[in-house]
């Protein structure tokens, strides 16, 4: 039995199988007039009615076109763009800041003042951790989510092709016995419903309860367990009924795809979007389990300094003495 590996090749094969099955049924009916499908005492048999036309077959078969979209190309393009973002951030930006830390950090020799110390403590020292955290809690999670989504789309297409190929098998084996067409069927286990689909979430190390800077955060896989349909059936007593069952099976694939996507969306929402929001809010307010993701924010107006007071812990001393202003404190 040939296996068709693309929507483009399986569609004409389906039409061929359907028309051939119809011809076999017609020949059988002609060979035994009055005893053909639907004309005997067996009410389960279906007559070769007006629905057994090429146009009707094609209508069912064209349902497969839906499985050519979305293409993997745009998903992979998005992933590549994120990969470049990660390369930029890992490209030595942190290293350049680290070099400054040797000169301006605590104990650095180039500049000694409260402002210099704050600059070293709150910007230079944690910068490497800040960039690493930015990459871990966002870029990696976004990339992993696209990988998972791409995996889902591949499985969805695999399921559609499996169903289409199984449909051909069923059509080819439509049993004509004594001019009677017996019901033929096949069951397909959906790849989408299989195991191994995971998506990354954010996990904060236990040290986060005490450490102020440099807390470890990581992303880790969470299994997507949501599932609504694990297998589908294809069968019927006539070509059109077999093809109709194929479209119902394809509907099942779409339902499973949606369930899996919903499960992945839930993990992203609970384990990424909300977590990042919490981390950013805590970081901005300098709250207890602060995980550094942002460098202290500069004021929108007035003399430049490390922070305008909305940031965490940094005193407005990142200015030469002439800029000291009582209202800053």
Partner 1 sequence: MNDAQPMLADLEAIYTAGKATLPNVAQVFGSAGQCVHATSGSESAAFTFTGAGAGAGVKHLHAQWAALRDTLRDRILAPTQQSLLTSGQALVQVAGDYAQQDGDNAKAIKDLDTRLAVNGDGVPANKPPTSVTTVPKHDDPATREYPKFN
Query: Please, which residue, 35 or 121, has the CB nearer to partner 1?
Result: 121
- Site residues for partner 1, 74-93, by CB under 8 A, read 74-75, 77-78, 81-82, 84-89, 91, 93
User: Whole-number minimum distance, CB 74 to partner 1, in Å?
Assistant: 4
Nearer to partner 1, 16 or 106 (CB): 106
**Contact status: 110 vs partner 1 (CB under 8 A):** yes
Site size with partner 1, rule: CB under 8 A: 82
Instruction: Quote the CA–CA distance of 114 and 317 in Å, as a whole number.
Output: 6
Q: At 112, is the secondary structure helix, strand, or coil?
A: coil
* CB closer to partner 1, 174 vs 253: 253
**Cβ atoms 201, 272 nearer than 8 A:** yes
Length of the chain counted residue by residue: 329
Q: Which of residues 236-275 bind partner 1 (CB under 8 A)?
A: 251, 254, 257-266, 268-269, 272-273
User: Of 33, 41, 50, 109, which one interacts with partner 1 (CB under 8 A)?
Assistant: 109
* Binding to partner 1 in span 284-303, by CB under 8 A: 293-299, 303
What is the bridge-based pairing of β-strands 184-189 and 198-204? unpaired
Strand partners, 299: none
Region binding partner 1 by CB under 8 A among candidate stretches 4-12, 26-34, 103-111, 205-213: 103-111
Q: What is the DSSP string of 17-54?
A: HHHHHHHHHHHHHHHSTTSSTTTSS-TTS----TT-SH
- By beta-carbon proximity to partner 1, the closer residue of 143 and 186 is 143
State the minimum distance, in angstroms, from the CB of residue 296 to partner 1: 6
| Piece in contact with partner 1 (CB under 8 A), picked from 36-44, 160-168, 211-219, 321-329 | 321-329
d(CA 181, CA 22): 10
Q: Mark the segment that binds partner 1 (CB under 8 A) among 23-31, 38-46, 98-106, 182-190.
A: 98-106
The yes or no reply on residue 319 touching partner 1 (CB under 8 A) is yes
CB 1 within 8 A of CB 40: no
Contacts of 75 (CB under 8 A, 6+ apart): 146, 149, 150, 153
Determine the Cα–Cα distance for residues 37 and 21; give it in Å rounded to an integer.
Answer: 13
Cα 288–Cα 294–Cα 295 angle in degrees, nearest 5: 105
Name which of 98 and 289 has its Cβ closer to partner 1. Answer: 98
Q: Which is nearer to partner 1, 58 or 266 (CB)?
A: 266
* Cβ-based neighbours of 168, under 8 Å, separated by 6 or more: 1, 4, 10, 13, 14, 17
Residue selected from 13, 18, 21, 123 as contacting partner 1 according to rule CB under 8 A? 123
Residue 149 as a binder of partner 1 (CB under 8 A): the answer is yes
- Residues with Cβ within 8 Å of residue 259, at least 6 apart in sequence: 226, 227, 228, 229
Instruction: Report in angstroms how near the CB of residue 77 gets to partner 1 at its nearest.
Output: 4
């Amino acid at each position: 039995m040939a296996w068709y590996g693309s929507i483009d090749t399986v569609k004409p094969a389906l039409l061929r199988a359907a028309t051939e099955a119809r011809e076999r049924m017609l020949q059988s009916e002609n060979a035994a007039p009055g005893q053909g499908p639907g004309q005997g005492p067996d009410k389960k048999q279906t007559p070769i009615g007006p629905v057994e036309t090429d146009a009707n077959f094609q209508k069912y078969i064209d349902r497969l076109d839906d499985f050519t979209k979305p293409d993997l190309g745009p998903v992979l393009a998005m992933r590549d763009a994120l990969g470049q973002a990660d390369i930029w951030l890992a490209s030595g930006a942190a290293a350049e800041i680290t070099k400054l830390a040797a000169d301006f950090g605590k104990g650095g020799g180039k500049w000694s003042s409260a402002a210099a110390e704050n600059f070293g403590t709150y910007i230079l020292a944690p910068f490497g951790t800040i960039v690493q955290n930015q990459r871990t809690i966002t870029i990696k999670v976004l990339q992993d989510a696209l990988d998972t989504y791409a995996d889902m789309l591949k499985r969805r297409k695999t399921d559609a092709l499996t169903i289409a190929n199984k449909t051909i098998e069923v059509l080819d084996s439509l049993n004509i016995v004594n001019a009677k067409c017996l019901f033929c069927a096949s069951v397909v286990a959906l790849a989408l419903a299989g195991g191994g689909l995971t998506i990354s979430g954010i996990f904060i190390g236990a040290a986060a309860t005490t450490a102020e800077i440099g807390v470890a955060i990581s992303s880790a896989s969470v299994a997507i367990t949501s599932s609504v349909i694990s297998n589908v059936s294809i069968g019927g007593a006539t070509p059109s009924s077999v093809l109709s069952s194929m479209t119902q099976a394809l509907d099942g694939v779409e339902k499973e795809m949606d369930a899996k996507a919903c499960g992945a969306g839930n993990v992203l929402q609970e384990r990424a979007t909300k977590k990042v929001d919490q981390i950013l809010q805590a970081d901005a307010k300098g709250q207890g389990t602060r995980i550094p993701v942002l460098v202290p924010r500069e004021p929108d107006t007035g003399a430049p300094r490390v922070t305008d007071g909305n940031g965490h812990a940094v005193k407005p001393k990142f200015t030469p003495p002439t800029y000291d202003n009582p209202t800053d404190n």
